Amino acid sequence: MSPDRLSVVFAALADPTRREILVQLSHGSRSVTELAAPHAMSLPAISKHLRVLERSGLIARERAAQWRPCRLQAAPLKEAVDWIGQYRRHWEERLDRLDDYLQELQAKSGQPTRRKSRAS
């Protein structure tokens, strides 16, 4: 069921090897062999990781002779960061305290815990 772009991007980021590859690419274009070097796994395994990254839009590949250099495409990272951004206020501003207090009140006020409008 064609997963949405955001899911594909987060899934691509959910693997340490792939995140490491992105770090490598943040310093410039690299060939597949160069990317594979630091990782303790076979070339085909890296090739699969690159395909995942490519499908997610996080990298692009050119063709130069027998090499297929990869380069970073950061645009999808902005989408990801924007999505997470909706929660910024939840970890900033130290309203965590207040929040906890309100949750506590709701939790003890009988019914499950409903929407704000019913909280009082």
Query: Mask: binding to DNA, 51-80, rule CB under 7 A, as x and -?
Result: xx--------x-x-xxxxx-----------
Q: Is the dihedral of CA 27, 78, 7, 114 positive or negative?
A: positive
50/116 Cα distance (integer angstroms): 45
| Residue 54 engages a second copy in binding (rule: CB under 8 A) | no
| Residue 15 engages a second copy in binding (rule: CB under 8 A) | yes
| Residue 67 engages a second copy in binding (rule: CB under 8 A) | yes
Task: Please report how close the Cβ of residue 78 comes to a second copy at its closest, in angstroms.
Answer: 5
The single residue listed with the structure tokens 């499950």 is: 112
DSSP state of 67: B
Q: What share of the chain is helix, strand, coil (3-state, %, to 5)?
A: 55, 10, 35
For residues 72 and 26, is the Cβ–Cβ distance under 8 A?
A: yes
One residue of 40, 44, 97, 116 binding a second copy per CB under 8 A? 116
Site of interaction with a second copy (CB under 8 A): 3-4, 6-8, 10-11, 13-16, 19, 22-23, 26-31, 33-34, 62, 64, 67, 69, 71-72, 74-75, 77-78, 80-81, 83-88, 90-91, 99, 102-103, 106-108, 112-116, 119
